[in-house]
Structure 1
């Protein structure tokens, strides 16, 4: 054997003798696995190595052989909610994971309003955060944050992190929206809950999408080299590559999402990309009906931010409308409405408790069968013209609509000239009658359709009506 090849062979033998089986970053002590499901556990070992995995809840042993690259995956059957349990993985070395809970697991993703920690941002508080932090101790609520990691190519694994029990030291820097979502699930379901948080402030939707999903978007450029890239949270594919691809497939019950602010200038494109992203995420998890609940962006004066766009479709109500209309394109989805929570001068509303709890209400209603009380916002259904009035009908309002005794001032009405005028609105059960003396023959109605506005119509359950338009102008 030539010296060169002998050296290579010796190095390979030494590596093989010392290589250890390892798990993907998501699998740590204290993790939560989705109950009553076949959940994947994966990692790496020597190429073609045979390893054993054993679960303590039933003593079952699984064997798997790593592929030519050393990658392996085992599907593990989980029981009903409970714990704590252990998992042992053995090959040349042994890994023992401790304090594993079985329960309900949710992926929580988006941009800064999802990423915003429970302690708040500098100068931007979260109402009730101090009380929430100090009362957060709950060993049955576990949290995991995927570190920021924009990448040019899909990552094999995410950056290291760890599962933590909910307590003041851990939740203070964790997503407020996700925490309040998980806390409500814990209260109502009474089982362990695990939250995987993977967000990046300022990100647009295309940063969370794989390159092939964007191939038909001529104005979206997929990066080919990292040199010179700025604002990587806004670069197409980079957050998908580093923060979604390496965790895809982990056993979850569903997803919550809070994003859209960084796409407000391109609502028509968002109307295409957002449903596509949800569809492709579901493909990644191998479940076309994976529950997906998202928060509609809150009203805010976007014209106050660079590049100070005003008018036309730069009104963020168009993005809110794209999100509203996406409900007709995305099955098994729900939208948490925040028309009453916006702040004119802050893009990060302080009412994160309501945002998180409204997402939880959607999950509880649709995914967990809590249907005794309607837990959704009213939805615009149809428009009928009767003489000089417009009659609007609404669904998801079994007890009707309310303005809490106040005058409704947020409707506009237009005729064929497409000029909108303030309108009088009268609530009648599940309908609203809208009219204006300036519009004798109405053809279209808009509700709360401004950049910043506070909605004034609610379901009797207290959940606000989304802004909407009946036109497509």
Structure 2
């Protein structure tokens, strides 16, 4: 027999013996250094070839027994208020002990490239102030789990990764938005913060959805279940199967999400699919209707889009995708959208200012999830229009101290029934904004910053920007 073949067979035999006599097998996110959600029933699960498994938590010395069914087991640990480090011991006849376990607040960070973008930046695309942030990143109370990027044809049980305390080396490779969110929360709440990052650039929302949640869309092709990696990260269900399904049941406080650019060709479908995805995740997670805070995509026209005919054709649809995200906030309970009309970068889809994004997500979480009602988080929100002669009067919620950043605004347009828009003059009044243009004597509709690229300039006294918006419901361009 060939020597290489012999040693290959021997190695396989030894591996099989090790598997047969292995300790309890846990998903990667149950490991040393993990963070469990405080004051909760935090589930832990895994596999064993024994009949029962006992899990003991050091914070209360309680033991929980689980029966093993078809090789799987699961227990729920009653967690205390934030603290640690603790240990969790798992025993099926052979003990393993998870060390340096913290109890605190756990969030999942998901989406596409603007969530994935690490503090070190992408090639030729830096993150603002990254060097300073990375240099000062050492904090044992912030734990980060960077999930492997996997797209799979069936739901998986594990997403590979490792818990690490924040350090310059770790945060340089971690989501700039998610780390900024964690840093802000930890500084304000004074408790351990755990972030699980599962994000992948350039991905459709369909890839993050389960097969069941996509069933109302017969035009979406669900991949054949052959238990294999998919060739394309944008195959429907692939990222849900590979990166979200393994986490289902892990006790979390909530999710932060930054995605949408890849669906800019289909804003109407996005408005249906995105809320359906959130509802499905919540149902499957089975830990309650957790907060879901997301980022509205920033305005941009990249250099490549200026040169690409196909991309140029998509540009008129970009503001409609932002509009779909704006409308989704009303459709998704316990949600919130961070508006970033003022931090886009004209020539890149990856604006370098990630700290402002983190700050706005944090403000939302502090106010809506942690009871800091004195922390503002909302910008002006268009409510209604009234036509008076040749002017349109706009009203807003969260409109105290309305102002234009540069003293006036060139982002307003007005149209009559012919649907032809002209640049308009906008004046702030005691009740809102008056909009008019000499070319339109009988106005019907107003639009604000409703373009692929616009630098938002309408703010309230708390310094939060308004989303782009329109007052008409005219057909989205094909």
Alpha-carbon distance change, 102 to 435 in structure 1, aligned in 2, over 3 angstroms: same
The alpha carbon displacement at 1:378 in A equals: 2.0
1:33 and 2:15 correspond: no
Contact residue 291 and residue 367 of structure 1 kept, 8 A:
yes
Report the TM-score when normalising by structure 2.
Answer: 0.92
Q: Between Structure 1 and Structure 2, how many residues are aligned?
A: 458
Equivalent residue runs for 1:267-282 within 5 Å: 267-282=267-282
Equivalent residue runs for 1:67-82 within 5 Å: 67=69, 69-82=70-83
Please name the residue that 2:389 is paired with. Answer: 387
In the aligned structure 2, how far is the partner of 1:293 from the partner of 1:299? 19
Equivalent residue runs for 1:439-450 within 5 Å: 439-450=440-451
1:463 and 2:425 correspond: no
SS of residue paired to 1:461: coil
Please name the residue that 1:262 is paired with. Answer: 262
**Deviates further, 217-226 or 236-245:** 217-226
Please name the residue that 1:243 is paired with. Answer: 243
In the aligned structure 2, how far is the partner of 1:229 from the partner of 1:221? 16
Please name the residue that 2:415 is paired with. Answer: 414
Please name the residue that 2:334 is paired with. Answer: 332
Alpha-carbon distance change, 314 to 23 in structure 1, aligned in 2, over 3 angstroms: same
Alpha-carbon distance change, 42 to 377 in structure 1, aligned in 2, over 3 angstroms: same
Please name the residue that 1:131 is paired with. Answer: 132
SS of residue paired to 1:252: coil
The alpha carbon displacement at 1:396 in A equals: 2.5
Alpha-carbon distance change, 291 to 238 in structure 1, aligned in 2, over 3 angstroms: same
In the aligned structure 1, how far is the partner of 2:208 from the partner of 2:430? 41
The alpha carbon displacement at 1:407 in A equals: 1.3
Alpha-carbon distance change, 16 to 238 in structure 1, aligned in 2, over 3 angstroms: closer
SS of residue paired to 2:212: helix
In the aligned structure 2, how far is the partner of 1:249 from the partner of 1:200? 21
Alpha-carbon distance change, 14 to 374 in structure 1, aligned in 2, over 3 angstroms: closer
Equivalent residue runs for 1:194-273 within 5 Å: 194-224=194-224, 232-273=232-273
Contact residue 413 and residue 446 of structure 1 kept, 8 A:
yes
SS of residue paired to 1:212: coil
The alpha carbon displacement at 1:315 in A equals: 2.9
In the aligned structure 2, how far is the partner of 1:163 from the partner of 1:230? 26
The alpha carbon displacement at 1:305 in A equals: 6.8
In the aligned structure 1, how far is the partner of 2:73 from the partner of 2:308? 48
Please name the residue that 2:365 is paired with. Answer: 363
Please name the residue that 1:434 is paired with. Answer: 435
Please name the residue that 2:11 is paired with. Answer: none
Contact residue 106 and residue 195 of structure 2 kept, 8 A:
yes
Report the TM-score when normalising by structure 1.
Answer: 0.93
In the aligned structure 1, how far is the partner of 2:309 from the partner of 2:163? 40
Contact residue 395 and residue 432 of structure 2 kept, 8 A:
yes
Alpha-carbon distance change, 57 to 425 in structure 1, aligned in 2, over 3 angstroms: same
Please name the residue that 1:21 is paired with. Answer: 24
Alpha-carbon distance change, 305 to 196 in structure 1, aligned in 2, over 3 angstroms: farther
Instruction: Note the residue ranges of structure 1 that are not aligned, 5 or more in a row.
Output: 1-10
In the aligned structure 2, how far is the partner of 1:341 from the partner of 1:261? 16
SS of residue paired to 2:213: helix
Contact residue 265 and residue 314 of structure 1 kept, 8 A:
no
In the aligned structure 2, how far is the partner of 1:287 from the partner of 1:59? 24
In the aligned structure 2, how far is the partner of 1:119 from the partner of 1:312? 30
Alpha-carbon distance change, 333 to 126 in structure 1, aligned in 2, over 3 angstroms: same
Contact residue 249 and residue 287 of structure 2 kept, 8 A:
no
Please name the residue that 1:90 is paired with. Answer: 91
**Deviates further, 308-317 or 120-129:** 308-317
1:168 and 2:168 correspond: yes
Instruction: Note the residue ranges of structure 2 that are not aligned, 5 or more in a row.
Output: 1-13
Contact residue 252 and residue 287 of structure 2 kept, 8 A:
no
The alpha carbon displacement at 1:314 in A equals: 4.0
The alpha carbon displacement at 1:308 in A equals: 2.8
Please name the residue that 2:45 is paired with. Answer: 42
Please name the residue that 2:182 is paired with. Answer: 182
Contact residue 290 and residue 332 of structure 1 kept, 8 A:
yes
Alpha-carbon distance change, 229 to 30 in structure 1, aligned in 2, over 3 angstroms: closer
Deviations 1:332-381 (A, max 9, x none): 11111111111121110000111111111111111111111422222111
The alpha carbon displacement at 1:15 in A equals: 8.4
Alpha-carbon distance change, 61 to 429 in structure 1, aligned in 2, over 3 angstroms: farther
In the aligned structure 2, how far is the partner of 1:441 from the partner of 1:369? 46
In the aligned structure 1, how far is the partner of 2:228 from the partner of 2:39? 47
Contact residue 152 and residue 229 of structure 2 kept, 8 A:
no
Contact residue 21 and residue 92 of structure 1 kept, 8 A:
no
In the aligned structure 2, how far is the partner of 1:305 from the partner of 1:246? 40
Deviations 1:16-48 (A, max 9, x none): 97242122211011111110011100000016x
The alpha carbon displacement at 1:218 in A equals: 3.0
Please name the residue that 2:6 is paired with. Answer: none
SS of residue paired to 2:392: strand
